[in-house]
Structure 1
Amino acid sequence: MGSISNEVQTECLPFFRIYKDGTVERLIGTPYVPPSLDDPKSGVSSKDITISQNPLIKARLHIPKQVLDQSQATDNKSPEKLPLLVYYHGGGFCIESAFSLVEHQLLQSITAEARILAVSIEYRLAPEHLLPAAYEDCWEGLQWVTSHSAAGEMKPGFEADPWITIHADFERLFIGGDSAGANLAYNTVMRAGTEKLSGGVKILGAFITHPYFWGSKAVGSENEKEQLKVLPCTLWNALYPNAPNGIDNPMINPLAPKAPSLSGLACKRLLVSVASQDQLKSRGVSFYKAMKESGWEGEAELVQVEGEEHAFHILNFETESAKMMIKRLAEFLRK
């Protein structure tokens, strides 16, 4: 018989188990990889920085190495300014990382293809840090980024990063995310509609890829009888047990009766992408349609990829479909 410390208290398959001694065992996810100032495959430099010690929020920055080399040239008096992407990784709020293999590969590819400066936020994960901790970290990370702007104000104890100070074009600020990260991106841009960003910076565009949205009532191809039993619902309830209105909290269900109007989305351009074999597809499509009908004055686009599953462009990043998706995201950032 094993010790009581090895007994499982709760589990949320296929993501994690929590043991009675408080240990959390993650069952899936990709390994962490180090940053590199000279990655010959992508031509992108990356580094890790700490945004905040309490709570602990970190980030991985990505920038074309050529841009760094040019800015360090002694005869260069005008460093190149790049579109700025603040990105939130996926993983159901409980796995993966800005430092994990698949998310690192994604950001390296987007940075190279679009020629941008990307800041991938390392927010705290559940279940050690239950929601809404991740939402607060993502907002704090964005505020830190925008505090680098000309009119921004850095909080005491926080430090500026030279890559952002020198190369970020705050007139071209984008927010992005995949899966749970897309959920975080959406909620962050909505919050920017009611709370000002440091320096008065405005968000130009946002892309949400395979967004993790759900609700108590079925939409599209969802099964009404299974609506409250499937993984998107059980995972949310496990990671945000005190969420007002549960699975119909506006953070997970932007179409809920008590959700704020989508017309308040604080960006001018929006790209929503879904995959035909993804369980979350109907939610993404319904969200896009609701955006178009909300009175929001921005420009919205929907990309539907046939024959692919959830997060295919991240988990299977060497395929042609994945490469085409990266090109599509890069096109959105360059437009």
Structure 2
Amino acid sequence: MGKEIATEILPYIRVYKDGSVERLADSPIVPPCADDPETGVSSKDIVISQDPPISARIYIPKQVRQHYRHPKVPILVYFHGGAFCSESAFSFVETKFMNRLASLANVVIVSIEYRLAPEHPLPICYHDCWAGLQWVISHSDEEHWVSTYADFDRVYIGGDSAGANIAHSVLIRAGSKGFRNGVKIKGAFLTHPYFWGSEPIGYESKYVENREEVVMSTVWHLVYPEAAGGVDNPMLNPVAPGAPNLAGMGCSRLLVSVAEKDWVRDRGILYHNAVKESGWQGESELVDVEGEDHSFHILLHKSENAKKFIKRLASFLVPCEEDEKNSIQVRSCASRI
């Protein structure tokens, strides 16, 4: 006799009444690589904390290792996507993406492995990712790759989907609390951010009572059953009444990316505009990719659009001097890929 199902969101996840979970669409877990044959990037796994259990995969490009006497490079702390309940920093698709981004940007990347819902309901993942970022910033001497190669005047954070949602939460917390040693987050990129709300906006009206609306609400209830306000909780809806003021976000540069066919596209655009109008004193940009869907740059990593988009993220992490000069004069603009 089979186990009784409590919640099922096909083709993603199945939760049984005994508390066990089947993740149906996750990419396979792969080991780190001393020298990735495609990019030359080296990676290794580290333990950030035993209790709570938080780990990470660190990436370093070959050109950085070979020229360690040269000036240090930016460091990116990354939060993977997966609707808070699936995927891993150690998965095949995430590792492929991280290898390519590290190589193109020539940066050190620390990808945080946070605990997943529903076994560990929200807000646990937010706490894990904040703890991971604090470890990177405050304990850099404990990890050779970080202490030797990372420039802590150029700390970036980033994430896709649920990871972009987490990155937003981290920015709000960084803006209000800061870091003990005075390190600041220079910039953040939020790719296809996982935001939602009870009132449809833009093209969302055609999704009402359809699959996307049901999935968003069902997933949020699964991962955060105690969320005050439901889908209008500020963690999911950053422009809801009572949400923290976006003017207080703790970074000086922001890149928000959306995709034409993504059902959360209009939420990303709304978020970008809300940040721009909040009084936040940083430089923001919106990138809108034509003809693509949610997380295409990870799920379809071999496509030409994915390669172009990852190059765009790389250029955000290491802008040329002319781009830096122009960005001071132009606070917000939109581009398409």
Q: TM-score, normalised by structure 2?
A: 0.91
CA drift of 1:67 comes to 2.1
The residue that corresponds to 1:333 in the other structure is 317
Contact 2:63 2:106 in 1 (8 A): no
Letter in 2 for 1:28: A
Aligned length, in residue pairs: 317
Partner of 2:168: 186
Is 1:61 aligned with 2:58? yes
2:127 equivalent in structure 1: 136
Aligned to 1:113: 104
In structure 2, what is the equivalent of residue 284 of structure 1? 268
Query: Aligned with 1:137: secondary structure?
Result: helix
Aligned-pair distance for 1:232? Answer: 1.5
Identify the range of structure 1 (219-228 vs 184-193) with the bigger mean alpha-carbon deviation.
219-228
- Deviation above 3 Å: which 4+ runs of structure 1? 224-229
CA 1:230–1:99: 2 relative to 1, 3 Å = same
Counterpart CA distance in 2 for 1:230 and 1:288 is 25
SS at match of 1:193: helix
For residue 176 of structure 1, what is the amino acid of its counterpart?
A: G
Which moves more between the two structures, 221-230 or 23-32?
A: 221-230
The Cα offsets for residues 127-149 of structure 1, whole Å up to 9 and x where unpaired, read as 11111110000000000001036
What are structure 1's unaligned runs of at least 5 residues?
72-77, 150-158
Q: Which amino acid aligns with 2:193?
A: P
Q: State the Cα deviation string for residues 110-163 of structure 1 (Å, max 9, x = none).
A: 1000000000000001111111110000000000001036xxxxxxxxx81111
* TM-score normalized with structure 1 length: 0.91
Q: Distance in 2 between matches of 1:60 and 1:131?
A: 22
1:141-290 correspondence runs (5 A) = 141-148=132-139, 160-223=142-205, 225-226=208-209, 229-290=213-274
Tell me the C-alpha RMSD between the 2 structures: 1.5
How do residues 62-101 of structure 1 correspond to structure 2 at under 5 angstroms? 62-71=59-68, 78=69, 80-101=71-92
Aligned position for 2:334: none
1:191-220 Cα distance to aligned partner (Å, 9 max, x none): 101112241210000000000000111111
**Counterpart among 107, 123, 147 of residue 114 in structure 2:** 123
Q: Which structure has more helix as a fraction of its residues?
A: 2
Rounded to whole Å, the distance in 2 between the matches of 1:295 and 1:229 is: 31
Report how far residue 333 of structure 1 moved.
0.3
Identity of aligned residues (%): 56
